[in-house]
Amino acid sequence: MNLLEGIRVLDLTNVLSGPFATLHLALAGADVIKIENPTDGDLARKLGCVPDFNKKLMGTSFLAQNANKRSLTLNLKQPEAKEIFKKLVAKSDIVVENFRPDVMKRLGLSYEVLSGINPKLIYCGISGFGQTGPDALKPAYDQIIQGLSGEMAINGDERLHPLRAGFPICDTVGGLNAAFAIMGALYYRERTGEGQFIDVALLDSIMPLMGWVVANWMIGQQHPVLMGNENFTAAPSGVFRTKDCYINIAANKQEQWEALADLIGTPELKTDPRFQERDARKKNRVELTPLLEAKLTQREGAFWVDEFNKNGIPAGLILSLEEALMQPQVTHRNAFNKVNVKGVGELELFNLTAKFSKTPGEVTAPPPLLGEHTDQLLEELGYGAAEISKLREDKVI
């Protein structure tokens, strides 16, 4: 039995935040029906680094977020399509969308309308700024939210600032927040029988992730300091040069600092007033780093990482993306599953990252072709072949 077996999700989402949320539900075993416009579907189908896949409406961005889902095309501006959608709502548990807050209302498919059809329905609306407020109707993309949240302002250093994260962090975190909220709402419904509306904003979702930095300002009135790869809570903690590469060291505890000083052959630094205590080291990190690197650059990074970890000092190599994906620990954790996608070939896609002992979640079906399951789903609703043909002729599907 799967974790969410028997749960049906109607997924109206596009690009990343919504599809990332529903991907987690799909990997956990929910029946996720991706409802797409008949013309070209989810915009992510055209986004990716392989032009041929984009032309096939199977862009790499789409492939990454849509395994284990079924695709149904519906032109929701047409009355017949709205009727089909409402029939699905009556038999579903969850609706997820990431339109602007006014779109579903204009389509006549608001939560108020849909909950009238199915009072147990859990409806999650994901948007940039939330369903209400002065900015609610503004368009929002990940980088816009990164800038407005303060996230870009605390990245980088004095040379490179402001600086965006290297992946769409706000969209991704918003999707995780939505998946978490939906699971909570399912638990509440299990106890009460009641559905509810969930309002997830990307701006709300990213801000708590900066909790330590926010607390320093709101409680201690300390502005964020641009420190690049340094850790503002401790020293030596950050990126350091070795003979052949850079490595991360996190000597965050006093005993770790003292062990490091001994291991690299600088025991005198332990009693140097500039570095003896934690707060002194933080204040004098600019002077400390070159003293450490003078020793670290005498040996290869792999040597130091091994030595430090053996002696209780957290350290690690800084890997390329390719190296990171191929490392033995990732393989051991069964991070990926292979799946064959028609017209694309065999792919490795991420499994559910939480490891459940009784209900593991993994990729079992490829991301769907646009409208791949339309006929199947309409047949499940009781539509005959002639009716489906007429709906296709009328461009409803």
pLDDT score recorded for residue 224 = 85
Instruction: Please say whether the beta carbons of 179 and 361 come within 8 A.
Output: no
Q: Nearest CA to 17 among 48, 54, 42?
A: 42
Residue range 12-23, pLDDT digits in tens: 999 999 999 999
Report the chain's terminal Cα–Cα distance, integer Å: 33
Which residue pairs from 282-285 have beta carbons closer than 8 angstroms and sit at least 24 positions apart in sequence? 282/232, 282/233, 282/234, 282/235, 284/235, 285/230, 285/235, 285/236
pLDDT score recorded for residue 317 = 97
Rg (CA), the chain: 25
pLDDT score recorded for residue 228 = 85
What is the C-alpha separation between 351 and 337, in angstroms, rounded?
6
pLDDT score recorded for residue 169 = 96
Count of other CB atoms within 10 angstroms of residue 41 = 22
pLDDT mean values, one per 10 residues, the chain (397 residues): 95 98 98 97 96 96 97 97 98 97 96 98 98 94 95 89 94 98 98 98 95 90 86 92 97 96 97 96 96 97 98 97 95 94 93 94 96 97 96 96
Q: Cα dist. 326→294, 315, 345 in Å?
A: 31, 19, 20
pLDDT score recorded for residue 102 = 93
Active site residues: 171
What is the C-alpha separation between 198 and 125, in angstroms, rounded?
6
Residue range 326-364, pLDDT digits in tens: 999 999 999 999 999 988 999 999 999 999 999 999 999
Instruction: Please say whether the beta carbons of 104 and 125 come within 8 A.
Output: yes
Q: Cα dist. 93→3, 50, 196, 352 in Å?
A: 15, 36, 11, 21
The domain over range 246-317 is classified in CATH as 3.30.1540.10: yes
Which sign, positive or negative, has the C-alpha torsion 390, 392, 396, 397?
positive
CATH code of domain 8-208+331-393: 3.40.50.10540
Instruction: Please say whether the beta carbons of 256 and 311 come within 8 A.
Output: no
Instruction: Please say whether the beta carbons of 12 and 75 come within 8 A.
Output: no
pLDDT score recorded for residue 319 = 96
Query: What single string gives the DSSP state of each residue in 191-256?
Result: HH---EEEEEEHHHHHGGGGHHHHHHHHTT-PPP---TTS-TT-SSEEEEE-SSSEEEEE--SHHH
Q: Where are the domains of the chain?
A: 8-208+331-393, 246-317
What is the reported pTM?
0.93
